[in-house]
Amino acid sequence: MIIRSLSVRNFRNIASADFIFDPKVNIFTGNNAQGKTNLCEAISVCFGKSFRNPKVSELLPFGTSDKETAIEMCFFFDNMNEKENVIQYTQKNSSFRLKFNGIEMKDAEKLYGALRYVLFIPEDLYIVKGDPSKRRDYIDFVSNMINRVHNYRLYEYNKALKQKNNILMNMSVYDTNAGIMLESWNETIAKLGVNVMCGRIKYFDMLSAAANEYYGQINGGNETLTMQYESSVMGERSFTADDFEIMYDIYMKRLRETADRELRMKYTVVGAHRDDVSFFINDMPAKDFASQGQIRSIAVALKLAEARMIKEKSDDVPIIILDDVLSELDEYRRGFIINHIDNFQVFITSCNLADTDKFGSGKIWNVHGGSFEVTEG
Ligand code: ATP
Ligand code: MG
């Protein structure tokens, strides 16, 4: 999709702003706390949900509870680009309405399935450097983005796991019936766990290949990125989404092997909930050795890979929002992000005007106190 225009009224520190966007690159530059992320958030609201997850009332400008927030976004779908579509978000007194081409959307979040954007925010660096749960969540997010059944499978797995862990909490290490009692839970968990792992691995190779390609482009081909799915069940064995039966047998074996430990620890110690993803730059683990710029480059490569996957697996061409992505990157890497993300409309925010030095074509806005002034077009 291509966003043609946006108008924003009474949204956080933005009293009034109107934009006609470039179909390729849009840059917003300004000091800290001027409204750059607020603008990104205004766009995300039109997609069904703010990425900041605020209370509705927090979106109104401070001290203006009597005012109405109004955002209007006009866009084209790429596959029928002669027709302009409109999303209108209005909010008053802590309740909001979202209309798509004049029709009210009862479940705003459903819009996200139909319209997609890919977002980088600085918190995404934790996908690379944070704890394993961040990476699992990210892989689950990507898997669910392509196949909406994934979250349901994950939910079923987590529910069964919780029930089994509750039973473990109430069991004694001396319980002679423990093995028999846990066996049927293990069967359920192994089946659901394999489902989750297969759902992840199905798109993992695609994500990893695209991320590797983008990472090479970002750094000029000097470094390679590889990603590995680390399974607490499968260990060193490689597996594909077709290995369901073999995986189930190994899963059961691992659960039996760890039964004593489970009883002592009082939770399930192996399974899909303990899996992780490792990133390697030139074969060295990124978590231990990568620099700030390299970590950021991996996160950006993942986001671009995500956009490509959406494009290839669905009819949608997502827009890409990169909030505060350029800091810590050298000139070459910034230049790539500003000028070479082809095939997508991008929105980039930056504190540093120097980031736009090597700007090729597109539009730049200066952001100051919630006002946006276009400087190039
Ligand atoms: P940075 O470069 O530090 O990320 P930014 O330009 O992205 O800065 P924003 O996050 O967009 O900054 O926030 C701009 C200002 O808007 C901040 O000072 C913030 O406190 C303010 N702000 C947030 N919510 C509201 C609101 N509901 N009403 C008025 N101002 C708000
Ligand atoms: Mg910001």
The kind and range of the H/E element at 371 are: strand 371-376
28 CA → ligand 1 middle, Å: 14
Into how many domains does the chain fold? 2
Is 305 found in the same domain as 165?
yes
Is 231 found in the same domain as 376?
no
Is 186 found in the same domain as 56?
no
pTM comes to 0.93
CA distance 86 to 101: 5
- Residue 54's domain comprises 1-116+316-377
CA distance 253 to 277: 23
Q: Which atom of ligand 1 is nearest the CA belonging to 58?
A: 27
**Domain end: 282, 313, 344, which one?**
313
The kind and range of the H/E element at 335 are: helix 331-339
Is 139 found in the same domain as 240?
yes
Which DSSP category does 61 fall into?
A: P
Which DSSP category does 79 fall into?
A: G
Q: What is the CATH number of the domain that holds 12?
A: 3.40.50.300
pLDDT at 157 over 70: yes
**Which protein residue's CA is at the shortest distance from atom 11 of ligand 1?**
35
| CB-CB neighbours of 369 under 10 Å | 12
Is 274 found in the same domain as 169?
yes
Burial classification of residue 170, based on how many CB atoms lie within 10 Å of its CB (0-12 exposed, 13-18 middle, 19 or more buried): exposed
Is 85 found in the same domain as 171?
no
Most informative mutation of 29, 31, 37 for ligand 1 (most atoms within 8 A of CB): 37
Summarised one tens digit per residue, pLDDT across range 280-313 is 999 999 999 999 999 999 999 999 999 999 999 8
Beta pairing class for 276-281 and 225-230: antiparallel
123 CA → ligand 1 middle, Å: 16
Summarised one tens digit per residue, pLDDT across range 45-83 is 999 889 998 998 899 999 888 899 999 999 998 766 678
- Do 31 and 79 form a contact (C-beta atoms < 8 A)? no
Sheet holding 284-285, edge to edge: 225-230, 276-281, 284-285
Is 294 found in the same domain as 322?
no
Best CA proximity match to 87, nearest among 68, 66, 67, 108: 108
Is 111 found in the same domain as 236?
no
| pLDDT band per the 50, 70, 90 thresholds, residue 376 | low
Q: What is the CATH number of the domain that holds 198?
A: 1.20.1050.90
| pLDDT band per the 50, 70, 90 thresholds, residue 240 | very high
Is 246 found in the same domain as 202?
yes
Is 351 found in the same domain as 233?
no
